[in-house]
Amino acid sequence: MNILIIGQGIAGSCLAWELKRLGADFTVADRPVAETASRVAAGLVNPLTGRAFRPGWRQEECLAA
């Protein structure tokens, strides 16, 4: 099965990484625009959310992956 990932932001990159680990066939399609949020963020992932900066509800599971 060939999988098409549209967008190589944080979610698309993580999905591609996991699919590669599993040996799946996939293609990533992304627009070459330098001013998109994911490119400007430079891969920053903040595990704290909301006004109180509490850990996300699945933080431990996601960070382990």
8-65 tens-digit pLDDT = 887 888 899 999 999 999 999 988 776 666 655 555 566 666 677 777 777 788 777 6
Q: Give domain status of residue 51, yes or no.
A: no
Residue-number span of the structural domain to which 16 is assigned:
1-41
Instruction: Find out whether 26 and 2 touch, Cβ atoms under 8 Å.
Output: yes
Q: How confident is the model at residue 41, as a pLDDT?
A: 58
State residue 14's pLDDT score.
85
Residue 47 lies in a domain: no
Are 24 and 1 in contact by the 8 Å Cβ rule? The answer is yes
Q: Domain for residue 49, yes or no?
A: no
Contact present, 49 and 56 (Cβ < 8 Å): yes
Can you say whether residue 49 is alpha, beta or left, with left for phi > 0 and alpha for psi between -120 and 50 degrees?
beta
Provide the domain count of the chain.
1
Question: Per the domain annotation, does 61 fall within a domain?
Answer: no
Whether residue 58 lies inside any domain: the answer is no
pLDDT for the residue 28 = 93
Residue 61's pLDDT is what? 81
Q: How far apart are CA 61 and CA 14, in angstroms?
A: 14
Question: Within a domain: residue 10?
Answer: yes
- Residue 62: inside a domain: no
